[in-house]
Amino acid sequence: MDREHRSCAVCERDNREEAPETHSRDGWILKECPDCSLVYLENPATYETLVSDHAWEKSFFAERASRRRNRRAHYLLSDGYKLIKRVVRGGGHVKLLRVLRAAAPEGRVLDVGCGFGRTLAMLGSSYTPFGVEISAEQAKQADVTATARGGWVVQASATEGVRTFDEGFFDGVIMHAFLEHENAPRELLEGVHRVLKPGAPAIIKVPNWASVNRRLRGDGWCGLRLPDHVNYFTPRTLRAIVERAGFKIERFGLRERWPLSDNMWMVARRPR
């Protein structure tokens, strides 16, 4: 299996001499950077294997099935809680669209890691949808949705795909449950910064490594997924990498990084 070595994504420290983090398993090596505290996968799968062997449509469902077999009672309770939450407050995509409308009410919007195009299909008529997706199967389906509305989908890794757009092309960029998957998150954020118009927002959602549930659940935590998730951000490390990419953080209060939540939300803007 093809794997590559990477340094810390936030501060670029090479931690190959550091001991593996305790949640490492099956040859996948997690490290906690002693300088900035980012937890990350040191030997992620290459982009080539992400297109095939570790494509999301394969690995996600295999991982979920395995967890449900091993922790059946926990997942029955978890599924029930999520269903109640969707009924009362709406699902994650409902919140995403609400945040997007407040931050960027119209214009060209890029969904990084757009998958099959579910979010693109849900965007209102005031938006022109665009996407980047590494999986060929998903990109092909999402492109049908985007082209019908005047946009398109690029089938490539996130950093390569974002690079194909002109500077200042977008009125908003979505990275919803994506940055944790990206081998080069700082490079991606710098690319997103370039393609946004001055003052335009990037909306970010990632798992919260500092959450209470992660500390309680250990290896059973829903956000711990190897080899899919290669970056495990805390509020501190997420803020650090976003600011180092040149963004000004607009919205990242306690509600967006609540310790009892498994996820964090952030709205960051390219400065004017």
Query: Is 50 exceeded by the pLDDT of residue 9?
Result: yes
Place of tokens 């059973």: 220
| pLDDT value at residue 71 | 61
- Closest to 7 measured CA to CA, from 33, 26, 37: 33
What's the mean pLDDT in 248-265? 97
| pLDDT value at residue 51 | 63
| pLDDT value at residue 259 | 96
Contact by Cβ (8 Å): 109, 124: no
At 155, which helix (H) or strand (E)? strand 153-155
| pLDDT value at residue 76 | 56
What's the mean pLDDT in 139-168? 98
CA–chain centroid gap for 103, Å, is 18
Pairing status of strand 172-176 against strand 201-207: parallel
Contact by Cβ (8 Å): 126, 103: no
pLDDT 10s digits, 14-60: 999 999 999 999 999 999 999 999 999 999 998 777 665 555 555 55
Using only C-alpha atoms, the chain has a radius of gyration, in whole angstroms, of: 18
pLDDT 10s digits, 53-98: 555 555 555 555 555 556 655 555 545 444 454 445 556 689 999 9
Domain ranges in the chain?
90-269
Find the Cα–Cα–Cα–Cα dihedral 234, 237, 240, 241, rounded to 10°: -110
pTM of this prediction?
Answer: 0.86
| pLDDT value at residue 85 | 47
| pLDDT value at residue 222 | 94
65 vs 184 pLDDT, higher one: 184
Provide DSSP, 47-75.
HHHHHTTT-HHHHHHHHHHHHHHHTHHHH
The Cα 29–Cα 3 span in angstroms is 11
What fold is seen in the domain 90-269?
Rossmann fold (3.40.50)
